[in-house]
Amino acid sequence: MALAPEHQKDFGWRSSTLAGALRLRPPVAQITSSEGELTERWATGAKRVVQIGIAEGGSAWHARRAMDPRGTLHLIDTYPTVLGLNLSRVTARRLVGGVERGRVEWLRARSDEVAKTWDLPIDFLFIDGDHSHDAVRRDWEDWSGYVTPGGHVAFHDALKDAPWMDDSYGSARFVSELLESPGPWRLMDHVDSLAVLGRDP
């Protein structure tokens, strides 16, 4: 049976990253199952997908299942190490690697560092890194210009309707400001805390 993530589940004593790396529990997706379905819907057919912030790979798993089978999924996360190892990365590579669709490029760096040399068009961008207002704004400024006309950007923890959200989330404050400002971007779809913005052709 193919490996699949559990969505926002508490495994008690097995919740540690060590338990995940040792296969004592499934990978845990930080998104809800509804957010996973929304990710697949808007990533469908995308030839180039970029995701900022990977954790154990739940949302990346959803994106890879739906992207163009000849496409590329670029996954950006710093994955800081202890004794040369990051256990969340071990779990994520196993989960995402279990989907045989397209190719995956793992970029172990800060998103602003990767952006300095980036020059490729993006069909679907998923922003789920540092949730502070300034960090989300920087990711938007660094990456949104590469999204193709008709392309889409998903922001996680961007809407306050979800039960875990509150005013402390800079990601939600930034997306609210973005939607209120003039420009080519509009809200295309949303569920729980996930907002998908579309760029007018």
Q: What is the pLDDT of residues 49-77, one digit of tens each?
A: 999 999 999 999 999 999 999 999 999 99
C-beta of residue 87 within 8 angstroms of C-beta of residue 63 = no
Supply the pLDDT for residue 161: 83
C-beta of residue 198 within 8 angstroms of C-beta of residue 152 = yes
41: left (phi over 0), alpha (psi -120 to 50) or beta: alpha
Entry pTM: 0.95
Helix (H) / strand (E) containing 122: strand 122-127
Q: Helix, strand or coil for residue 3? A: coil
pLDDT band at 182 (very low <50, low <70, confident <90, very high): confident
The residue behind tokens 């993006």 is 122
The Cα 63–Cα 40 span in angstroms is 5
**CATH architecture of the region 30-199:** 3-Layer(aba) Sandwich (3.40)
Q: Crossing angle, helix 170-180 and helix 133-143, to 10 degrees? A: 50
